[in-house]
Structure 1
Amino acid sequence: MIESKIRISEKLETEQTLHFAKMCFEEQLKKHLPLTKVSAPAVVLQGTGINDDLNGIERPVSFPIKAMQEQPAEVVQSLAKWKRLRLKEYELPAGTGIYTDMKALRPDEDLGKIHSLYVDQWDWEMVIHPEDRQLSFLKQQVEQIYRAVKDTEMELFKKYPELNPFLPSEITFLHTEDLLEKYPHLSPKERENKAAKEFGAVFLIGIGGELVHGKPHDGRAPDYDDWSTPTSASTKGLNGDILFWNPVLEQAFEISSMGIRVDPEVLASQLEIRNAGARAELVYHRQLLQGELPQTIGGGIGQSRLCMFLLKKRHIGEVQAGIWPSEMRVECLREGIQLL
């Protein structure tokens, strides 16, 4: 009975720390990027092209609507395209944008210590000038997000001294081509582990396009991030992932995926590369190809991922309530991991 009360008390303490961490990061995000918080949908209509395909193979959760039997709905997987449509509606000037609480379901995730069915993100999107479509601009926004994380880390340390800060003062920029050249015999995840452990915090550029001497580092759908624009004689891509070295799990830990979004020319090219030309007839894609949508940059910052990292937790189920296989629950109990 006493043990049960202790466990409940620790869980409530975690919930309080979670609330404080999320509140701090939202404030820091608004401080470092000119973003306004807006409401977001939990579902979108199927067949419009608005829902994201992520790596292009994940199944969205879909269901019929009683009042609209002719068109089913899908639970969002992320809001990259929806945000761009919203920016058009708001008519925001370049250099300003929006962010929202994105709550998604991804049933094809392999459940584990860093993956769950439920995905929560601070999804953000900002209008840019056409001339901002370059690597230097992307890096500037990455640095602002990193500053928001670092400042949140320090605020947590002030309130909870046991959560000592350990992120490096600066984030390191690497291209996926650099990692392939340096570690040609390792898998992409093994390369990420090497880089994250060496530098502590890395922005890995160029995810989605084929590398010079190999397959893509990882998958990306062809219709939101620009992964094909050349940035040098041997590199391409105006997108990437923010990776931290997680000393608790001893592995690279993805916090965010972000990038400059496709313009009409890049969208047409990437659809052709992926043999996905049929998407050009979808509502969203037609608008983009016709130049009706603003140029943007954006991404998603994992709420549970960031909190798991900053609170030094061993399992994502310690920072979000979820559904887990019974054998995983037993294993967590054996390891002293308290799932919410």
Structure 2
Amino acid sequence: MRNNSQATKLDIKETQIAIKSLKDFFERDLANTLNLTRVSAPLFVRPETGLNDNLSGTEKAVSFSLRKYGIEVEIVQSLAKWKRYALKTYGFDYYEGLYTDMNAIRPDEEIDDIHSIYVDQWDWEKIIRREDRTIDYLKFIVSEIFSVFKRTESYINSVYPFALSKKLPEQIFFITSQELEDMYPNLSPKERENSICREKKAVFIMGIGSALNSGHPHDDRSPDYDDWDLNGDILFYNPVNDSAIELSSMGIRVDEESLVRQLEIADEKDRMELDYHKSLVNGELPFTVGGGIGQSRICMFFLEKKSLGEVQASVWPEDFLLEAKLKGLNIL
């Protein structure tokens, strides 16, 4: 029996039990709050469809051949574009949405305490009307998602009161990436995130992808899913590591105009020849809002772990494992 004088962290077996409870609660509450239905999703797609996520444009997707059939496929890097296509195919209506468990491999990822080559997240997408493509509606959706985080924190802390503490404020703070740069002009984007999260505890940074007054974007975004004027990241202050942790990247998706504009800015106009992009420009896809919410990162944050490796089984470099061992961490 654990007593209150022991270390606040859950042991490795308790952690596994807590992960299941945490994920089950969050998934149910998210689906109920945003009116989402769970669907099956692909692990891999054909590259010529344009459905795979190019992320910042530099990451190379894992690919392989179906040798018997002469078909080349790529493991998905996210489902940002596939979800929008699926909403139409499955016959969803306005303000209805879907979510799925998305698993991906990103071999170019630089591994550290919050990054691994294995990505597990809830990918969600919801149909909206053209008139909903506003900052106010984006803030509304973010506030709804934050309410899910709040209820999840209350739930898991009630299950493990001896181990976990309250970390979230009553409301999430909204700020644009330009306002953040103006506030901390001498800091890097990551340092700005750390600074604002230390102060506000929960932050949504809006407008990611376009160049700021400094000439550089806050962070890179693929030009063909989020509208760079109507997107953002949800970040919390993680007291265990004294730093910001991004738990969701999301946004209102591109319409015909913003797709063409962003592809021109990114010098990626050749993507307009892909099936997905043709469908979007031809008005064949619904207007949507959507994003991804990191499952392992949620567990790391709420269960107060120092490293993603304490909640996610993956492959880790030897130097990472050695450092974790010196810190006394149980890496899966």
Shift of 1:40: 1.0
- Alignment gaps of 5+ in structure 2: 1-9
TM-score, L = length of structure 2: 0.95
TM-score, L = length of structure 1: 0.93
**Matches of 2:72 and 2:295 in 1, distance apart?**
28
**Residues 1-340 of structure 1: pairs in structure 2 closer than 5 A:** 10-69=11-70, 71-161=71-161, 162-227=163-228, 237-340=229-332
Shift of 1:51: 0.3
Question: SS state of the match for residue 339, structure 1?
Answer: coil
List per-residue Cα deviations over 1:25-73 (Å, max 9, x = no partner): 011102211100111111111222100011111010001112331x311
**Matches of 2:14 and 2:117 in 1, distance apart?**
24
Question: SS state of the match for residue 103, structure 2?
Answer: strand
Number of the residue aligned with 1:234: none
AA aligned to 2:211 is E
AA aligned to 1:144 is E
Question: SS state of the match for residue 56, structure 1?
Answer: coil
AA aligned to 2:323 is E
Question: SS state of the match for residue 147, structure 1?
Answer: helix
**Matches of 1:238 and 1:328 in 2, distance apart?**
37
**Matches of 1:206 and 1:302 in 2, distance apart?**
20
Number of the residue aligned with 1:232: none
Shift of 1:189: 0.6
List per-residue Cα deviations over 1:203-231 (Å, max 9, x = no partner): 0000001113431110001000001xxxx
Q: Which structure 1 residue ranges, 4+ long, deviate > 4 Å from structure 2?
A: none
Shift of 1:285: 0.7
Question: SS state of the match for residue 60, structure 2?
Answer: coil
**Matches of 2:102 and 2:225 in 1, distance apart?**
17
The count of aligned residue pairs is 322
AA aligned to 1:297 is V
List per-residue Cα deviations over 1:272-308 (Å, max 9, x = no partner): 1111111000011111111100000000000001110
List per-residue Cα deviations over 1:159-193 (Å, max 9, x = no partner): 11021222001000000011111111111111111
**Matches of 1:328 and 1:270 in 2, distance apart?**
37
Number of the residue aligned with 2:3: none
Number of the residue aligned with 1:4: none
**Matches of 2:307 and 2:182 in 1, distance apart?**
33
**Matches of 1:11 and 1:196 in 2, distance apart?**
29
**Matches of 1:312 and 1:332 in 2, distance apart?**
15
List per-residue Cα deviations over 1:127-149 (Å, max 9, x = no partner): 00000000000000001110001
**Matches of 1:82 and 1:67 in 2, distance apart?**
26
AA aligned to 2:217 is P
**Matches of 2:92 and 2:32 in 1, distance apart?**
18
**Matches of 1:58 and 1:180 in 2, distance apart?**
26
Question: SS state of the match for residue 226, structure 2?
Answer: coil
**Matches of 1:67 and 1:88 in 2, distance apart?**
32
**Matches of 2:195 and 2:215 in 1, distance apart?**
18
Question: SS state of the match for residue 270, structure 1?
Answer: helix
AA aligned to 1:260 is I
AA aligned to 1:142 is V
